[in-house]
Amino acid sequence: MPPAELKANEVDRQEEDARLAALEATGILDTPSEPSFDAITRLAAEYFRADTVLLGFADESRVWIKSYWGEPIRELPRSEPIFAMVLAEDGPVILPDLTKHPRFTGRRMMIRRLAAASLASVPVRSPEGRILGVLAILGGQPRRAMAVDELRMLESLAEMVASQLELRRLRKAFDKNAPRSALPVKNGKEAWPRKPDLRRALDQRQFVLYYQPEVELSTRRIVGLEALIRWKHPERGLIPPMDFIPLAEESGMILPIGDWGLTEACNQIQEWCHEDPRHRSLRVCVNLSARQFAREGLADHVEALLRRFGISSRQLGLEMTESSLIPNMHTALQVLSSLRRLGVSLLMDDFGTGYSSLSHLHSYPFDVLKIDRSFVGRITDGEQPLQIVRTIIELARVLGMSVVAEGIETHEQYKLLQRLGCRFGQGFLFARPMPAEATTQLLRLHGGLLPDSKPATVTAD
């Protein structure tokens, strides 16, 4: 073999080894099916009205199928054109009519039992650009050429797979290295509070809403406020939500408490708008918990509140976590869709802490993704947490959602988030949660712009 050729082979081998190592690092091979990936193949099947969609990753000998739509296929030979062609092209392969392709000349492409007449496949790449796998869409009949939008959609879906893989890889490593955060001090054995205490607190109007500004990072302009409940106990002082919300959820008291919170927030929005009509552009977000979704009347209730206080649906946002959606997936989807039709914003809270985030983002109509503060808090610690946040931001971009970073405490975190393309943020660096009157002051004081150098001084948490 001439030396030049030998060298080329060596380079190929090295490249292939690096590709296999990158695939290995994701730990994806031979894992059971996961809703996140199935959501992507389902989305592809629906969008392209495809008969079969395959998401496969190729090791030395095979294309292992992580997720399929239509024909159940688990594995294909590595030489299978759906992968081999993508690798050879180093990009998408779009063949609307396979029978016209010289490689198949008048035949359909046989993939196991499947006779395909059209193929569209795009590579799934590692962050360094190595091709790890393929997302392939197969049709039983020839189809028309793919429009630019369709190709973009296909590539976005492959990017989502890549983001999901990356998030999965980083989170695994991150979980392994991260110091274990302390478990909540309170546990079920605490004698206080009990359900009647919550009932009494509600009757005696001991709950209050604090508000924490959400800012546009580039301008430090306040774009919204998150309503956060506190219990002003006459003897015990100000009690944070984590000390009573779990009991409220367990005991069902969250329903009347939640109703109170929603009404109170709407009332406050109305007051701020009276104070200054420019405040109409602010979005006030209220946290909702699982039980509140189990009730189908939620959207009607919200609509009635908006009407009663004369506020626009754009002025209200509802935050929920993934775990609050899981107990009633079906009802939750209906409720969320009705809320979305109303025009209120839907925010996915604490993003990244759940384990099948992507599938929920796909299935539910969220507008905003809030990056959990555990990631933001470690973003300056090293490459890994930084990568997680980068990936989440990328994921949101692909899905057309906006991003709010929670828990920004330092200038360094602030600057880094901006550099990563995160548009909005919230955290002690800008302002702590504060009572309504202090919030009114803050809005008045700086015309909605937070001062640059120091954290806002009006704090009362």
- Any contact of residue 214 with ligand C2E (CB under 6 A)? no
Among 211, 350, 361, 386, binds Mg ion (CB under 5 A): 350
Q: How far apart are CA 31 and CA 44, in angstroms?
A: 21
> In degrees, to the nearest 5, what angle opens at C-alpha 159 toward C-alphas 154 and 160?
95
Shortest Å distance, C-beta 367 to ligand C2E: 16
DSSP E strands in 165-245: the ranges are: 207-216, 221-233, 237-239
Q: How far apart are CA 211 and CA 134, in angstroms?
A: 46
Among 349, 357, 389, 424, binds ligand C2E (CB under 6 A): 349
Number of helices (H) and strands (E) in the chain: give both, helices first.
16, 18
448 binds, among Mg ion, ligand C2E, none (CB under 5 to 8 A by kind): none
- Any contact of residue 118 with Mg ion (CB under 5 A)? no
Binding mask 273-292 vs Mg ion (x if CB under 5 A, - otherwise)? --------------x-----
- Any contact of residue 298 with ligand C2E (CB under 6 A)? no
**Helices in 310-410 by DSSP H: which ranges?**
322-325, 329-342, 357-363, 373-376, 383-399
Shortest Å distance, C-beta 391 to ligand C2E: 20
Q: How far apart are CA 223 and CA 112, in angstroms?
A: 55
CB burial of residue 121 (10 Å; 0-12, 13-18, 19+): buried
229 binds, among ligand C2E, Mg ion, none (CB under 5 to 8 A by kind): ligand C2E
- Tokens encoding 419: 């550099």
Residues 6+ apart with CB under 8 A from 227: 209, 210, 211, 261, 264, 265, 268, 284, 285, 286, 287
- Tokens encoding 253: 């008291």
407 binds, among Mg ion, ligand C2E, none (CB under 5 to 8 A by kind): ligand C2E
- Any contact of residue 241 with ligand C2E (CB under 6 A)? yes
The residue number whose beta carbon is nearest to ligand C2E equals 427
Binding mask 216-235 vs ligand C2E (x if CB under 6 A, - otherwise)? ------------xx------
Question: Which residues from 373-392 bind ligand C2E, rule CB under 6 A?
Answer: 373
Shortest Å distance, C-beta 113 to ligand C2E: 49
242 binds, among ligand C2E, Mg ion, none (CB under 5 to 8 A by kind): ligand C2E
Q: How far apart are CA 87 and CA 414, in angstroms?
A: 40
> Which residues of the chain form contacts with ligand C2E (CB under 6 A)?
212, 228-229, 240-242, 245, 258, 261, 287-289, 319, 349-350, 373, 406-409, 426-428, 433
> Which residues of the chain form contacts with Mg ion (CB under 5 A)?
287, 319, 349-350, 406
